[in-house]
Amino acid sequence: MGTEFLKIMDHNDVKDIIKNIPIKRKTERIPLKEAHRRVLAEDIRAKIDLPPFNRVSRDGYAVKAEDTFRASEDKPAKLKCIEIILAGEVATKKVEKGTCIEVNTGAPTPEGADGVVMVEFTEKEGDNVYINKGATVGQHIAYKGSDIQKNDPLLNSGILLTHDKIGVLAAIGIGEVLVFKKPKVVIISTGNEIINYDEEMEYGKIYDINSQTIANAVKSCGCIPIYSGISKDDYNDIKNNIKEHLDADVIITSGGTSAGGGDVLKVVLDDIGEIFVHGIAVKPGKPTIVGIVKDKPIFGLPGYPAAALTVFHVFVAPFLRKMAFLDSHKKSDVLKLKISKRYHSSRGRHQFVLVKIEKGTAHPILKDSGAITAIAEADGYFEIPKNVEMIPEESEIEVILLESR
């Protein structure tokens, strides 16, 4: 009855094996409007100078600075205002000695002017403007290319296009960008007892949980989940489901990996693929499979929801994030918290413990990995090395959040 584990492996060795799985990345060109939180796949250089012209940066009067050098409140300089231009307008006249042009922030600096006096330091009477404070050369003018020069490097391939970086691309008139394609990840739940939520509940059946949990976790890793439905614990059913989805980039199954009679995934992979890992010295998640079918990495997660979720976070998510060219670990998702009570660990296995965070304290969830309430309460998890048997009450632990709230 049941199959043997190939060889129970240390979790760090498994991480190394997963790190060495070769990754192929594809790119696609998409409209900037759809690029939020995508990863840039090209180096972007400025297509234009910024500002694109000598730009007025304060509301006021464009002047020849030398006309105002000695101006003060007591002895204002008197200039003749020869034109009024607004932002978006271009002066038709030229600032000559003794004259000025009224300008607004954002307007091109009129020809002949080399400084701008803020409106606060002026008084206007008819066509005459009295300047109460001298302007230096270049004052309140943002010169063409002073912020960015055409062909300057601006953003590097590999950065995440957050809203601010999209603004930078918009600034130079970019309407489309090359980004990494989101990897497609097929989700297969296996088990004769698993039914879809829209099926009639029968005695002995349970609803499919892992498809939903894993598919949405996959989204958070920058990938696109593809629901493949539920496979029976049947050699042909699982094999066909996998073969049908080899156009995807990664395959994730759950269930059917324990050493029980229902374990057919291993047999399928022995036939059509290769198994790298079958059994990890962790709790939960011991009966995990890692392998490959025709160049497509496949992860066989345990069936119990909390175990599947934990294995996904620890071993699969970093791989998917790397494939999607996102950082494997976001620093902000790790919190240092005190543990609310003493926790005893299982000897000989590296352990992952789900916790609920309440008032800045981590409460370990003392439920087995079959319990749904464990997931209902969980905010994150912490790790206990295999040689540590007990975590004392109130000691500090590093909690990795399941998903940013």
Site for its own copies in 175-204 (CB under 8 A): 175, 191-194, 197-198, 201, 203-204
213 lies in the binding site for its own copies (CB under 8 A): yes
Binders of its own copies in range 227-246 (CB under 8 A): 227, 232-233
Give the nearer residue to its own copies in terms of CB position, either 132 or 212. Answer: 212
164 lies in the binding site for its own copies (CB under 8 A): yes
Give the nearer residue to its own copies in terms of CB position, either 80 or 294. Answer: 80
Which residue(s) pair with 280 in the sheet? 9
Binders of its own copies in range 101-120 (CB under 8 A): 102, 104-108, 119
Query: How many Å apart are CA 364 and CA 339, to the nearest integer?
Result: 7
103: Cβ–Cβ under 8 A, 6 or more apart, which residues?
56, 59, 60, 61, 62, 85, 91, 109, 110, 116
Q: How far is CA 16 from CA 11, 20, 158, in A?
A: 9, 6, 23
Write the interaction track for its own copies spanning residues 331-350; mark x where CB under 8 A is met and - where it is not. Answer: xxx-x---------------
Q: Among 6, 21, 246, 371, which residue interacts with its own copies (rule: CB under 8 A)?
A: 371
Contact call for residues 292 and 20 (beta carbons, < 8 A)? no
How far apart are CB 11 and its own copies at their closest, in Å?
21
Binders of its own copies in range 298-327 (CB under 8 A): 303, 305, 309, 327
Number of residues that bind its own copies (CB under 8 A): 102
Contact call for residues 218 and 178 (beta carbons, < 8 A)? no
265 lies in the binding site for its own copies (CB under 8 A): no
Q: How far is CA 176 from CA 34, 152, 159, 165, in A?
A: 9, 19, 16, 13
Segment interacting with its own copies (CB under 8 A) among 62-70, 167-175, 290-298, 382-390: 167-175
Q: Among 211, 253, 345, 351, which residue interacts with its own copies (rule: CB under 8 A)?
A: 211
How far apart are CB 63 and its own copies at their closest, in Å?
15
Write the interaction track for its own copies spanning residues 72-101; mark x where CB under 8 A is met and - where it is not. Answer: ------------x-xxxxx-----------
131 lies in the binding site for its own copies (CB under 8 A): no
Q: Among 41, 131, 166, 248, which residue interacts with its own copies (rule: CB under 8 A)?
A: 166
The radius of gyration computed from the CA coordinates of the chain, to the nearest angstrom, equals: 32
CA angle 316–318–324, rounded 5-degree value: 100
Instruction: Indicate the residue type of 73.
Output: E
Q: Which of 393, 348, 397, 358 is nearest to 379 (CA)?
A: 358
Tokens linked to 78: 């008197």
Contact call for residues 73 and 120 (beta carbons, < 8 A)? no
Contact call for residues 215 and 223 (beta carbons, < 8 A)? no
Segment interacting with its own copies (CB under 8 A) among 46-54, 277-285, 341-349, 384-392: 46-54
How far apart are CB 71 and its own copies at their closest, in Å?
18
User: For 238-247, which contacts have Cβ atoms below 8 Å and span 24 or more sequence positions?
Assistant: 238/188, 238/190, 238/264, 238/265, 238/268, 239/268, 239/271, 239/272, 241/188, 242/188, 242/268, 242/272, 242/293, 242/298, 243/272, 245/186, 245/188, 246/293, 246/294, 246/296, 247/184
361 lies in the binding site for its own copies (CB under 8 A): no
Q: Among 6, 30, 171, 224, which residue interacts with its own copies (rule: CB under 8 A)?
A: 171
366 lies in the binding site for its own copies (CB under 8 A): no
130 lies in the binding site for its own copies (CB under 8 A): no
Q: Among 172, 290, 298, 311, which residue interacts with its own copies (rule: CB under 8 A)?
A: 172
